[in-house]
Chains A and B, each alone.
Chain A
Amino acid sequence: MLSMKNINKVYQTEKVQTHALRDFDLEVSEGEFIAVTGPSGSGKTTFLNIAGMLESYSSGDYLLDDINVGKLSDNAKADLRNQKIGFIFQGFNLIPDLNLYENVEVPLRYRGIKSAQRKQRIMDCLEQVGLASRAKHLPQQLSGGQQQRVAIARALAGKPRFLLADEPTGNLDSLMARQVMDLLEQINRDGATIIMVTHDPELARRAPRNIQVVDGQLADFTLYQGAPDMHVSSHAAAQV
């Protein structure tokens, strides 16, 4: 359902050209749960932003559900994000002025769904992350883990088939991180395709497919899925 071929992303500053992604190829099928790892500055976030159509790419082809993203207008990309993609960020990025209910409501608002249907959907999503009872609370009244669960609820609200998570547990302690991870696995079992950027190898190991981005290029470890030990060692080897 997601296909990237020869994607290049070049940042042009005054003097320096930086290749964030270099001939990046990736195929993702429906229902996959992929963990993306790699050292800082390797291009993980750039890859995720391009996948989410938050950034454009310099060259190559990116097909999402057989739609060529490169040819889409800004509006069409916004609509596509709204309908197909859910985002989860490291910093949660909840809107502080809005309570939990209203935060989850945001993507539905932009989709123009009627109030009654919205309410049903929002409460379902909050239920799913176990925070329905706190719908009227503001984000700052919640712990980090709870905030991230709200962010996940918000990402789920539009029933996206695609969930992009950028270090979803980066700001959380290990207990909370595990809870968030449980949630993501549950969502994946319910049918959503998930791509998760993380630097935590333990979490990465819980994903069925691991890919590593090094220096803007892809190293795929799907083959070692069944043998976690080998995965770790070869991971370490690759970093040397």
Chain B
Amino acid sequence: MFFYYIDLAWRSFKRTPFVSMLMVLAIAVGIGITMTSLSVYYMMAMNPIPDKSDRLHVVQLNTMDEGQSQGSSDNLPQQLTYRDAMALYQQDFPENKVIHMRSGFAVHLGDSSIKPFLEATRMAGRDFFSMFNLEFQYGGAWSVEQEQNAAQVAVISQSLNEKLFGSENSLGKTFYLDDKVFQVVGVLDEWNLHTRFYDITTGAFSRTENIFIPFSLVPVLEVPSWGNTNGWKYQEINNYQDRLNAEIFWVQLWVELPNEQAKAQYGQFLQAYLSEQEALGRFERETPQYALRNVMEWLDYSNVVSDDNRVLVGLSFMFLIVCLANILGLLLGKFLKRAPEIGVRRALGARKRQVFAQHIVEVSLLGLFGGLLGIGIAQLGLWGVRATENYYSALATMDLSMLLAAPSISIIACIIAGLYPAWLVCKTAPAIYLKTQ
């Protein structure tokens, strides 16, 4: 029966091509606009590391005087001071943790074969790769010894390996960061991270770095920060040692806490640590304040999805409602005009349910066409987004679930719009349409 209804729907479509096209166009445009904004929203709000997002936590400590603020919703600084981050990083608990910050260097090979270029570089603890699920093409993370000795070793991305060493296995090869020689110990596989959750402060949707070197090099090489540095009181900072000791926030720490118990335990530890630091006279607070946010909480806290985007999604759905009202009006006209035919069908033994199903199949077909056309319109819209905002390039795309969502939303929307007209048609008494035409 289903195919019979499809056949009838297609005939009906052909019978009133103008109105049918108008309806398809209306739903397509509605779906297209909605899917454009929804796709960006979806990519922004998507969990970047689903298998671990509950366990990975970012550590925030309030080491400021009472009443000081960093403009966040709970007044906590987003980053840590170097000394706090290091102190926590050097603890045995929890087992997996990563200290990191963003910097950058001029990259070259020490000869004229490649023109020197700037490359953002992540200074990180060696757990960075295992904690954030990075895969290696060659080699692996640097060793514990190398990290302790601040060895000049690097993990580089696939693309940088291609640029410097022509994609070959470059383990053991060397290159320069500024005027220092570094040895390659690992080459990463491709890493597609749409939301750079591990460091929101330098742009949640910026590209991931191509170079990773041990964080222990920070004091040795006096590495400048390419990220934010925030202070809360005036301090003399005349050399790098001053900077390392200063009450300024520029380092980030992530810890992996496997369960609630570990989280509670670590929270108690942080509380004790803060009290201890306060006793040293670093800051004055009534109560120690810290936060342990997991990945999704962190993204939410950092307002990764912009207000603009939420507004757009909301307006797009309202737009979709307009399109539906439009379709509903046209369907009413189209279906009621067909009431005599339905009268005949009813007289010939069609049940109400069958008549209803016939019309629902018909609107679903419209929804399907509209949804497919809508994907095209959404692609056009996303292309426009990418052209306007380079930063969103990785976000302004539709993945498989969005591609499937488009016709699904479209069909569901059309069915909702079609319910009333279809019900109206199937409930009208057949007799009145049979006598005269």
Contact = CB atoms under 8 A, between A and B. Distances in A.
Direct contact between the two chains A and B in their complex (CB within 8 A): yes
Interface of A: 45, 49, 52, 54-55, 74-75, 78-79, 81-83, 87, 89-91, 93-98, 106-107, 109-112, 154, 158, 166
A75 B430 contact: no
B348 A106 contact: yes
A78 B429 contact: no
B351 A93 contact: no
Interface stretch (B200-208, B338-346, B371-379, B409-417): B338-346
Contacts of B289: none
17 contacts: A54-B347, A54-B431, A74-B351, A74-B352, A75-B353, A78-B351, A82-B349, A87-B347, A90-B435, A91-B437, A93-B434, A97-B12, A106-B344, A106-B350, A110-B354, A111-B349, A112-B1
Given A93-B344, A95-B344, A98-B11, A55 B354 contact: no
A97 B15 CA distance: 7
B349 A110 contact: yes
Contacts of A93: 340, 343-344, 347, 434, 437
Nearest to B11: A97
A112 B12 CA distance: 22
A74 B430 CA distance: 12
A79 B345 CA distance: 12
Interface string B247-273: 000000000000000000000000000
B117 interface: no
Interface string B318-347: 000000000000000000000011011111
Contacts of A54: 346-347, 429-431, 434
A186 B346 CA distance: 27
B4 interface: yes
B11 A107 contact: no
Contacts of A87: 347-348, 434
B354 A49 contact: no
Interface of B: 1, 4, 8, 11-12, 15, 340-341, 343-354, 429-431, 434-437
A52 B11 contact: no
A128 to B, nearest CB: 18
Contacts of B8: 97
B349 A158 contact: yes
Nearest to A105: B4
Nearest to B350: A110
A52 B347 CA distance: 8
A86 B411 CA distance: 37
Given A95-B341, A98-B11, A166 B349 contact: no
Given A78-B350, A82-B348, A110-B348, 17 more contacts: A54-B347, A54-B431, A55-B429, A74-B352, A75-B352, A78-B351, A79-B349, A81-B347, A89-B344, A89-B434, A93-B344, A97-B341, A98-B11, A107-B349, A110-B351, A110-B354, A166-B435
B16 to A, nearest CB: 10
Given A89-B434, A109-B1, A75 B347 contact: no
B232 to A, nearest CB: 76
Nearest to B436: A91
A137 B351 CA distance: 27
B351 A79 contact: yes
A113 to B, nearest CB: 12
Nearest to A81: B349
Contacts of A97: 8, 11-12, 15, 341
A83 B344 CA distance: 15
B402 to A, nearest CB: 36
Most buried by B among A45, A81, A93: A93
Nearest to A78: B351
Contacts of A112: 1
Nearest to A89: B434
Contacts of A154: 348
Contacts of B349: 78-79, 81-83, 107, 110-111, 158
A89 B429 CA distance: 16
Nearest to B349: A82
A87 B345 CA distance: 11
B345 A106 contact: yes
Nearest to B15: A97
Ordered nearest first, which 3 A-B pairs have the shortest CB separation? Answer: A82-B349, A91-B437, A54-B431
B434 A78 contact: no
B435 A45 contact: yes
A94 B4 CA distance: 17
Contacts of A109: 1, 4
B345 A49 contact: no
A81 B435 CA distance: 17
B346 A78 contact: yes
A49 B346 CA distance: 12
